[in-house]
Amino acid sequence: MNPHTNWSRRAGLAGASAALLAFTLSGCGGDSEQPQPPSQPGGPPQAAPAAPTVPPLGPGCPKPGTVTVHNAQELKSALTGAKPGAVIELAAGTYTGGFAAEASGSKAQPIVLCGKRDAVLDGSGANYTLHLENASYWEVVGFTIRGGQKGLMVDQGQHNLIDSLEIEQVEQEALHLRKNSSNNVVRGNVIHNTGLKDSQFGEGVYIGTAEKNWPRYTGGQPDRSDRNLIEANTISDTTSEAVDIKEGTTGGIVRGNTFTGPSSDAESWVNVKGNGWQILGNTGRGSSQDGFSVHQILDGWGVDNVFDGNTAVVDGPGYGINVTKNKDRNRVTCSNKAESAGKGLTNIDCS
């Protein structure tokens, strides 16, 4: 197959997946990014039709680069000068430092940053190894992110695809979607060995911002990092949650991921504090307490979430799925499975 055709087909499917995610979960069609209010009391939450599964792209650049970089300075220059449609290809080697992108692509012409796993961004000593800041319509594909206080940070980023990276050996969280970063797809990444310096902040994927930090990052308002798709990732050896979904976020999907403990500073692999999230078809093994959990940090949050088709081999004292609050406002289907969970599948009636 012609590599140009293959890239176009796959990138088109990724765009379609993100667009359908926004449509089915925002309920308004198109690419709406308007914040939706917390859902109100009513009937039991129902699962919305999920976006179609799209295979990860895999390491490398399926499309030839418009520019190939070989060292840190060349990479910084390419990121600074990136225009819609650019493909920045990383040659094999180590790129030391913190790297930032502030330009945006477009739906028709995303900006692509790609490479094989032997292209390594090493952020030792940097706050963020890679920072997408006010940068939308990027496709970040295939290479390795290592070190840094945080691995990959997305601030105010929309419609980005983060695909098939390896993110490892970071001081705190590996990948963070923050400051109203919505409609992003995080797919097929391998994430491991987080929290090397601050174990309580060693999440694999962190979505949104804790309420106490809203004044600093979102003007005191909820961080509406909404409608993000976290799919087919392999997350292991995180010192905190594999996926931490903060209060203030709404309407995303966590689907088909594999989680492996232990998590020394977390009670579960996936901790849901937002609203209207779908946790579908994930598999986890080894937890200090529960497999999956729902918590309420603020009134009106931690509701209308759906757990369906998950398998929790807990090897711990808790539940497969623990709904700690709002037991009548969250749904656990009977298709979920729990093994070696001291308290069984769940603390609410499955349906």
Residue 151 lies in a domain: yes
Residue 26 lies in a domain: no
Q: Does the pLDDT at position 253 exceed 70?
A: yes
Q: Does the pLDDT at position 283 exceed 90?
A: yes
Q: Which three-class secondary structure state does DSSP give residue 78?
A: helix
Give the chain's domain count. Answer: 1
**pLDDT band, very low/low/confident/very high, at 212 (cuts 50, 70, 90):** very high
Give phi and psi for 150, each to the nearest 5. -130, 145
Q: 337 with 320: CB under 8 angstroms?
A: yes
131's CB contacts (< 8 A; 6+ apart) are 98, 99, 100, 101, 152, 153, 155
Count of CB atoms situated within 10 Å of the CB of 44: 11
**pLDDT band, very low/low/confident/very high, at 265 (cuts 50, 70, 90):** confident
Q: Please tell me the predicted confidence (pLDDT) of residue 62.
A: 75
What CATH number does the domain containing 241 carry? 2.160.20.10
pTM of the model: 0.89
**DSSP symbols for 119-160:** EEEE-TT-SEEEEEES--SEEEES-EEE-SSEEEEEES--S-
**pLDDT band, very low/low/confident/very high, at 24 (cuts 50, 70, 90):** very low
Residue 330 lies in a domain: no
Residue 209 lies in a domain: yes
Residue 243 lies in a domain: yes
Structural domain of 235:
3-21+53-266
* Torsion from C-alpha of 87, 143, 246, 270, nearest 10 degrees: 140
Q: 141 with 161: CB under 8 angstroms?
A: yes
Residue 298 lies in a domain: no
Q: Does the pLDDT at position 167 exceed 90?
A: yes
pLDDT, one tens digit per residue, over 63-111 is 888 999 999 999 999 999 999 999 999 999 999 999 999 999 999 999 9
Average pLDDT, the chain: 89
Residue 35 lies in a domain: no
If you average pLDDT over residues 230-246, what whole number do you get? 97
> Closest Cα to residue 222, out of 84, 346, 38?
38
Residue 247 lies in a domain: yes
Q: 160 with 190: CB under 8 angstroms?
A: no
